[in-house]
Amino acid sequence: MAAIELKNIVKEYGDGFPAVNDVSIDIADGEFMILVGPSGCGKSTLLRMIVGLEDITSGDMIIDGVRVNDKAPRDRDLAMVFQNYALYPHLTVYENIAFPLRLQKGQHSDAEIDEKVRAASKTLELDEHLDRKPGNLSGGQRQRVAMGRAIVRDAKAFLFDEPLSNLDAKLRGQMRTEISRLQKSLGVTTVYVTHDQTEALTLGDRVAVLKRGVLQQCASPRELYDAPVNLFVAGFIGSPPMNFMPAEVKDGRIELPFASVELDAETRAKVAGHELLIAGVRPEHFADAALADDKVTARGVTFTADVDVVEWLGNEQYAYIPFDAPPAVAEKLAELESDLDGESSRHQIVVSLDAESNLKPGRPFELVMDTTRLHLFVPETGENLTLAPVAEPAEA
Ligand SMILES: Nc1ncnc2c1ncn2[C@@H]1O[C@H](COP(=O)(O)OP(=O)(O)OP(=O)(O)O)[C@@H](O)[C@H]1O
Ligand SMILES: [Mg+2]
């Protein structure tokens, strides 16, 4: 097991394009670190530099206190699990798991190999499949074989590149819990690339968000969710995503498309000098005014909105409310949307409501917005002006 330190890591490919640009992350021994970001932001490149499959243009890669920039992959002692698992179709599950040990010629006796393979197979519940070929296994079972191969090597760290992206939603959920359980019980330092929201938030001790090769924020899932440093992180983390709308600053208040919000003295000081900001509120921080908690009603603002589409999902429902945006905000939101790999150019907010709420599309509806959960971003830079410290749940 090992700590992995990335210090000012840069990767320029042949064409001089910086795929990874000055990224520094300290991954603690035993930590589960997630790398997320839109397609092309440099996640795989970063992982391949850690494992040694890609040269590092500049910066230091330090594993267990030793600089490994010039070490070959096999000397770094890390185990990588790829998206396609890279299993050998002609070998049994047993031999697939044993493969990395047989590769280290003469280092392990047959008895030793057998012991390691059986221990891994037990942990991964593969005992009854040891004699089968990978082609006859389900996606989840293949995934476990690939992990078995990583486990037998006693590697210093596990590196995963979107290991679950080929699986269907249900199996992905099961494997996600499996990986989490396994990582906790083995305590192996893990770096895991994904662009799945749920994987990022549920698996990681910390999550590093990348945009075009640049690290935006590296923090606990809760901190990323509640205190995103900028518009990009705010828009990337969360599903449905945070709502963004124009916020005109006027006389100690902000005017939103639907409501006017009085600012407290602290926020007023933070927004001083700005005329137009982008307000961000998550869908769950709205509620049906008729059903809302008294405390939320007391601290929030109540307003009437024209809902145009309703999606009822059984356990909750989403209501869509269109609005108009001034050009400066519209332009920034379009840019953000393209950074986030999205394609909607529609200005609307989505609010998540109780499934019992009696709302009908096309009719005005009374909502409460919890203004204590409002973020204010600077349109030009995307900076979040309203960052507050996040309280993590206490250790038991
Ligand atoms: N061998 C290569 N030569 C030149 N450019 C490359 C090479 N590999 C990747 N790139 C570029 O580097 C950038 C980062 O690529 P990378 O594969 O790391 O992204 P990613 O975040 O893993 O994306 P995805 O989510 O689509 O897997 C991209 O712009 C890509 O085009
Ligand atoms: Mg990739």
Ligand 1 pocket residue status of 253, Cβ below 6 Å: no
**Do both 123 and 248 map to the same domain?**
no
Q: Say whether 287 sits in a helix, a strand or coil.
A: strand
Domain shared by 184 and 276, yes or no? no
306 and 164 co-located in one domain: no
Q: Could you identify the residue written with the tokens 């249900």? A: 170
CATH code assigned at 357: 2.40.50.140
Measured distance CA(12)–CA(275) in Å, rounded: 39
Asked if 214 and 323 sit in the same domain, the reply is no
CA 47 – CA 24 distance, rounded (Å): 13
> Residue 328 corresponds to which tokens in the numbers above?
């400066």
CA-wise closest residue to 108 among 153, 155, 168, 43: 153
Q: What is the pTM of this model?
A: 0.90
> Residue 44: CB within 6 Å of ligand 1?
yes
Domain assignment present for 357? yes
Q: Which domain holds residue 41?
A: 4-226
Determine if ligand 1 sits within 6 Å of the CB of residue 21: no
Least distant ligand from the CA of 15: 1
Residue 350 belongs to some domain of the structure: yes
Per-residue pLDDT tens digits for 252-273: 999 999 999 999 999 999 999 9
Please name every residue paired with 277 in a beta bridge, in sequence order, or none if there are none: 247
Please name the residue whose Cα sits nearest to atom 18 of ligand 1. Answer: 42
CA 165 to ligand 1 center in whole angstroms:
17
Would you say residue 395 lies in a domain? no
Q: Residue 390: inside a domain, yes or no? A: no
234: in domain: no
Is the domain of 142 the same as that of 202? yes
User: What percent of the chain is modeled with pLDDT above 90?
Assistant: 67
Boundary (domain end) residue, out of 196, 226, 256: 226
Out of 139-143, 200-204, 313-317, which region has the weakest mean confidence (pLDDT)? 139-143
Closest atom of ligand 1 to 48 CA is 18
Ligand number, closest to the Cα atom of 57: 1
Residue nearest to atom 1 of ligand 1 (CA): 13
Task: Kindly state if the Cβ of 42 falls inside 6 Å of ligand 1.
Answer: yes
Q: What is the pLDDT of residue 395?
A: 66
Q: Report yes or no on 385 lying in a domain.
A: no
Phi, psi of 158 (to 5 degrees): -105, 135
pLDDT of residue 392: 74
**Residues 220 and 263 reside in one and the same domain:** no
Same domain, 203 and 264: no
Ligand 1 within 6 A of CB of 53: no
Residues 217 and 345 grouped into a single domain: no
Q: How many domains does the chain have?
A: 2
* For range 108-112, the mean pLDDT: 92
% of the chain exceeding 70 in pLDDT: 98
Q: What is the pLDDT of residue 169?
A: 81
Q: Give the CATH number of the domain where residue 153 resides.
A: 3.40.50.300
Q: Assess if residue 391 is contained within a domain.
A: no
- Same domain, residue pair 102 and 13: yes
- Mutational test site, ligand 1, from 43, 46, 341, max ligand atoms within 8 Å of CB: 43
C-alpha to C-alpha distance for 368 and 138, rounded to whole angstroms? 47
- 394: in domain: no
